[in-house]
Amino acid sequence: MELTFASYNIHKAVGLDRRRDPDRILAILNETGADVIALQEADRRFGRRESVLPLAAIESHTPYRAVHLGMRPDSIGWHGNALLVRRTIEVTEACAVPLPTLEPRGAIRADLVVEGRRLRVVGMHLDLSGLRRRQQVRSILSHVTDCENPVPSVLMGDFNEWARHGGCFHEIPRDWQVLAPGRSFPSRRPVAQLDRIVVSDEWRAIATGVHHSALAARGSDHLPVWARLVLPKI
């Protein structure tokens, strides 16, 4: 089974031209061709925390649907984190992941079924503090491993980790793989690999990359990152 996973900090749909343009973000998501997408900064920060990507627009202009958490009526996620999956993918369970934090950060988890195989995905946006990031990674891994029935897992998002190695990645088990698709921030002239994808040992990565396009170059201060993964037959 081969799937493409992507992660994109959409900066509340505000591009480098300072315009909030949800349609532009949806077009960029379509460009990635991913099967599962983790979004960060997908909700407004204050008030009702409504999604910056209207559900009706996601359903009418993309092949995706938002994983429903039911946390807030106007939001598609939790603390700006959202997961989109192709409509052919079954979602069996979804929830917010409790994180130790002083900032409005968060993570969400969904269990999916694809071609009869069950897998687990976590989208996250971690803290600016290095110590807090390490605590958050430990909390996420504890949550994933404590779930009933261990399954192949993919963790992805904006880790806010400037170090290429070390930092919060010291918390990742040795049998997991930390993928660094490339420099994705800032989008105009990327210098940092803040956006990462981490996979459990069942997966084999066959390709990774940063999505570059004319739209992506101005749609957000981050570029989308992606990984094409293969899950061997049982």
What are 141-157's pLDDT values in tens digits? 999 988 878 899 999 99
CA distance 169 to 159: 9
pLDDT of residue 72 exceeding 70: no
Q: In this predicted model, what pLDDT tens digit does every residue of 179-222 receive, in sequence order?
A: 999 999 999 999 999 999 999 999 999 999 999 999 999 999 99
Q: In this predicted model, what pLDDT tens digit does every residue of 79-104 receive, in sequence order?
A: 899 999 999 999 999 999 988 876 66
- Mean pLDDT (whole number) for 45-72: 85
What pLDDT is stored for residue 148 in this prediction? Answer: 78
Averaged confidence pLDDT in the chain: 93
> Which domain does 107 fall in, by range?
2-230
- Mean pLDDT (whole number) for 52-73: 89
* Residue 159 to residues 83, 218, 221, Cα–Cα distance (Å): 16, 21, 15
**Helix/strand/coil (H, E, C) string of the chain?**
CEEEEEEEECHHHECCCCCECHHHHHHHHHHHCCCEEEEECCECCCCCCCECCCHHHHHHHCCEEECCCCCCCCCCCECCEEEEEECCCEEEEEEEECCCCCCCCEEEEEEEEECCEEEEEEEEECCCCHHHHHHHHHHHHHHHHHCCCCCCEEEEEECCCCCCCCHHHHHCCCCCEEECCCCCECCCCCCECCEEEEECCCCEEEEEEECCCCCHHHHCCCCCEEEEEECCCC
CATH assignment of the domain containing 75: 3.60.10.10
Q: Which residue has the tokens 């690999």?
A: 193
Residue 104: CB atoms within 10 Å: 12
Question: Which range has the top average pLDDT, 33-47, 94-108, 122-136, 196-210?
Answer: 196-210
Rg (CA), the chain: 16
- Mean pLDDT (whole number) for 3-29: 97
Task: Indicate the pLDDT class of residue 164, thresholds 50, 70 and 90.
Answer: confident
pLDDT of residue 47 exceeding 60: no
Number of structural domains found in the chain? 1
Question: Do 233 and 14 form a contact (C-beta atoms < 8 A)?
Answer: no
Tell me the residue length of the chain: 234
What pLDDT is stored for residue 14 in this prediction? Answer: 97
Task: Indicate the pLDDT class of residue 40, thresholds 50, 70 and 90.
Answer: very high
Tell me the whole-structure pTM to 2 decimals.
0.95
What pLDDT is stored for residue 45 in this prediction? Answer: 65
pLDDT of residue 113 exceeding 90: yes
Residue 137: CB atoms within 10 Å: 24
Task: Indicate the pLDDT class of residue 69, thresholds 50, 70 and 90.
Answer: confident
Query: In what side-by-side order are the strands of the sheet with 225-230?
Result: 64-66, 82-86, 36-40, 2-9, 225-230, 204-210
